[in-house]
Amino acid sequence: MIFAGMDTLLLTVMAYDRYVAICHPLYYMVIMNPRFCGILVLISWFIMFWVSLLHILLMRRLTFCVGTEIPHFSCELAQILKVACSDTLINNIVLYVSAALLGVLPLTGILFSYSKIVSSLMRMSSAGGKYKAFSTCGSHLSVVSLFYGTSLGVYLSSALTHSSLQNSVASVMYTVVTPMLNPFIYSLRNKDVKGALRRLLKLAASCL
């Protein structure tokens, strides 16, 4: 829970970083200094630690039947609540409220940052400047789309279907696949990586 929540909060911090870099380039080093960046990371850890601790303490009041099996590859909170033998109303309320706050508020911050970035790009007269500014945001936008797309798919699929296999596959997408793709996506700005990818695609095309 801490790492999943940290992902959303750090993506929001990175969106703010892009906003400052593009909209206030002269003040970037003053605003995004190492001390301020460290404070943002610590705040993210602090928020997720207490949210996770709250869920753990609420989980202690639940009872479970002997021999209970969770049809999932990990002890995901929503799956644990489904197999509890006692009343889970309070747990579900806290779960949905925290998920809404940690999902909606960071996403709102990301969308607000990019609305300001797009507004700033529209006022640029240089096409080269627009391309350079957009290229700094491309990798971050890809990761945001991948993370929120798979996360939304997980919770929609768990609400609409009772298939444990589908829920497990969807969870693997945003807990394992998405973090593994992050280094690759961010390294696409590197010219050597781009060249290697082009050669790989040409080789694959020639084999077909």
Chunk the chain into consecutive blocks of 10 residues (it has 208) and report each block's average pLDDT, rounded to whole numbers.
83 90 87 91 92 90 80 73 85 87 88 88 75 75 80 66 65 71 68 71 74
195 CB-side CA count, 13 A: 3
Nearest to 28 by CA among 136, 109, 122, 108: 136
Angle between helices 127-160 and 164-172 (to 10 degrees): 160
pTM of the model: 0.77
Cα–Cα dist 167/169, whole Å? 6
pLDDT at position 61: 87
What domains can you pick out in the chain, each with its CATH number? 1-64+74-206 (1.20.1070.10)
From residue 117, how far is each of 9, 22, 127 by CA, in Å? 19, 7, 15
Q: Which residues, 6 or more positions from 175, have their beta carbon under 8 angstroms from its beta carbon?
A: 4, 74
